Amino acid sequence: MENELKIAMDDYLPLRDVVFKTLRGAILRGDLKPGQRLMEIQLANQLGVSRTPVREAIRMLELEGLVKMIPRKGAEVAQISEKHLRDVLEVRSALEELAGTLACERMSAEQLGELKRVNRQFMQVIGSDDITAIADADEKFHLVIYNATGNERLSQMVNALREQMYRYRLEHIKDRSKREELVKEHELIIRALEERDPVRARDAIRSHIQEQVAAVLELLKRG
């Protein structure tokens, strides 16, 4: 491994889940690079665990689309492909546009206040080097909108894609030149929700996600 992995033990989680969180975090941060092989013995030695929880964690990562199994070669960190990016973000766009429409009808004054508060937190971290903190703050912003719909099935569907969306969110945020645009896009979404305008809300959300697609594709082309 090129990077030193450190495991953070948790008395409340099975060992496989602790290993899973450690490896997942390393992949999302870019410590484990796309195409990098995941050797069970090497990972087990580095993390100070047996091969079994490492093997189980790798299977969980495969289900999330973060790891790919290659015949006669083993596991490796999945590449970020243009098709996968478009597939995931097309679904995200549809779900978030629906969420924006419903939130225009159902968002309470308290929830709107929470959305503004969370966006202020996002603005406070946007200039930092901690891309995980920025991505988490961005995720919280969108979570407030999902919750404001009051639609549990919608929230479940979004959560099913949450981890895959998080990877692209991180990639987008890595480009510092795009961060101020993110702030402006959030403000447009807030304004549309505040004015209870579902057409503007859908347009703002669609544009927000299209910008993310374009930014990540640009990064992919740069290599």
Question: Exposed/middle/buried for 157, CB within 10 Å: 0-12, 13-18, 19+?
Answer: middle
How many helices (H) and strands (E) the chain has is answered by 9, 2
- Quote the number of domains for the chain: 2
Does 61 share its domain with 96?
A: no
pLDDT at 223: 62
What tens digit of pLDDT does each residue of 122-169 get?
999 998 988 889 999 999 999 999 999 999 999 889 887 887 788 888
Per-residue pLDDT, 81: 82
Q: Is the pLDDT of residue 29 over 90?
A: no
Strands (DSSP E) along the chain, which ranges? Answer: 67-70, 74-77
- For residue 1, pLDDT over 60 is answered with no
210 and 174 in one domain?
A: yes
Record the pTM: 0.80
208 contacts: CB under 8 Å, gap ≥ 6: 182, 185, 186, 188, 189
What pLDDT shows up at residue 38?
Answer: 96
Q: Rounded to whole angstroms, how far apart are CA atoms 43 and 7?
A: 11
The dihedral built from the CA positions of residue 201, 202, 207 and 213, taken in this order, carries a sign that is: positive
Q: What confidence score (pLDDT) does residue 196 get?
A: 97
From CA 183, how far away is CA 181, in angstroms rounded? 5
Question: Same domain for 87 and 124?
Answer: yes
HSE value, Cβ hemisphere, 13 Å, CA-based, for 3 = 16
- The mean-pLDDT minimum among 25-34, 73-82, 189-198 falls in 25-34
Domain at 181, CATH number: 1.20.120.530
| Predicted local confidence at residue 10, as pLDDT | 67
